[in-house]
């Protein structure tokens, strides 16, 4: 599965972006991502509050394109480790 991750907003409005294949992810984060994709309650499209980050994840596979987005205040606790890994990946 091909992925595109963007973190935008925040104090200073610095944007991070990366694109990669899910085979580059640790197995634990790949499993977490698949769990999030199956759980419809973990999706959010809220507008960010001032100085919040917005996280956008675009996934492309044989089923088509899917996107997930969250803000700091709407990010589920289950998704935080995945976001941490994605931010580190974007900083590489």
pLDDT digits (tens, 9 = 90+) for 20-53: 898 888 888 888 888 877 775 555 556 667 889 9
Segments of 16-82 assigned E as strands: 16-21, 53-61, 64-71
Segments of the chain assigned E as strands: 2-9, 16-21, 53-61, 64-71
Could you tell me the pTM of the whole model? 0.81
CA-to-CA distance for 10 and 23, rounded, in angstroms?
29
What does the pLDDT read at residue 41?
A: 56
């Amino acid at each position: 599965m091909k992925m595109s991750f963007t973190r935008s907003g925040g104090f200073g409005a610095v944007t991070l972006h990366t694109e990669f294949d899910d085979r580059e992810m640790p197995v634990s984060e790949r499993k977490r991502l698949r769990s999030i994709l199956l759980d419809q309650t973990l999706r959010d499209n809220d507008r960010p509050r001032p100085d919040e980050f917005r996280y956008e994840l675009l996934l492309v596979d044989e089923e088509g394109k899917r996107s997930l987005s969250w803000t700091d205040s709407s990010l589920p606790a289950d998704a935080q480790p995945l976001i941490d890994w994605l931010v580190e990946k974007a900083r590489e």
